[in-house]
Structure 1
Amino acid sequence: MRQNEVLEVLESVASDQWGIITTAQAQREGITRLQLSRLADKGVLARSRHGIYLLPSAQHGALTDLRTAWVSLGAREFPDERWESEDKILVSHESAALIHQVGDLIPRRITFSSTTRKQTSQEDIYIYSNREINSKDIRNVDGLPVTSVELTVSDLAEKKIEFNYLATMVVDALRKENVRMKDLATKLNDAAESYGFSSGQQLVQECQREAASDDDREESIARYASLAEIARESLGAQMVTDLLKNNLYGSLPTASLAEIARESLGAQMVTDLLKNNLYGSLPTASLAEIARESLNQVSSKASPKSSEYQTNKKSEDIKKRQPPGYSPTPIDDEEELQADTGKTAKKENEA
Structure 2
Amino acid sequence: MGWHDGQRAINAIAAEQWGLVTTRQAFGAGVNRMHLSRLAAAGLAERLSQGVYRVAGAPQPEHQEILVAWLALHEFGQPRTSLVVGGVAAAQLHGIGQFWMREIDLLAPTRRRSGRDGVRIRATRLGEREVVTVHGVPTLAPSHTISDLLVLGESPDTVADAAVDALELGITTTAAIREALLDQPVADAAREMFTDALEQRIATDQTSLRSPRD
What TM-score comes out, normalization by structure 2 length? 0.84
Which is greater in Rg?
1
Deviation track 1:114-158 (CA, whole Å, cap 9, x = no partner) reads 1122212211111112x1111001111121111000000001112
CA distance 1:95–1:86, change in 2 (3 Å): closer
Give structure 2 stretches of 5+ with no counterpart: 204-214
2:89 aligned with 1:108 = no
Alignment of 1:326-345 (within 5 A): none
Residue equivalent to 1:175: 168
Residue among 150, 174, 198 paired with 1:207 = 198
In the TM superposition, 1:244-263 aligns within 5 A as none
**Equivalent residue for 1:48?**
48
Match of 1:164 in 2: 157
Q: Which residue of 2 aligns with 1:195?
A: 190
**Alpha-carbon distance between aligned partners in 2 of 1:196 and 1:6, rounded to the nearest angstrom:** 53
Aligned residue among 135, 140, 145 for 2:138: 145
TM-score, structure 1 normalization: 0.53
Higher relative contact order (CA 8 A, sep 6+): 2
Aligned equivalent of 2:83: 89
**What corresponds to 1:7 in structure 2?**
7
| Mapped partners of 1:36, 1:94: distance in 2 | 33
**Paired amino acid for 1:60:** Q
In structure 1, the gaps of 5 or more residues are 213-351
Q: Secondary structure at the residue paired with 1:188?
A: helix
Q: What RMSD, in angstroms, separates the aligned Cα atoms of the two structures?
A: 2.3
Instruction: Answer 1 or 2: which has greater helix percent.
Output: 1
Q: Percent identity?
A: 25
- Tell me, in whole angstroms, the C-alpha distance in 2 between the residues paired with 1:63 and 1:87: 20
Q: Which runs of 4+ in 1 moved over 6 A?
A: none
How many residue pairs align between the two structures? 201
| Bigger proportion of residues as strand | 2
CA distance in 2, matches of 1:172, 1:161: 16
Quote how far apart the aligned CAs of 1:69 are: 0.9
Contact 1:171/1:208 (<8 A) preserved: no
Structure 1 residues 179 and 112 mapped into 2: Cα distance closer, same or farther (>3 Å)?
Answer: same
Aligned ranges 1:272-351 → 2 under 5 Å = none
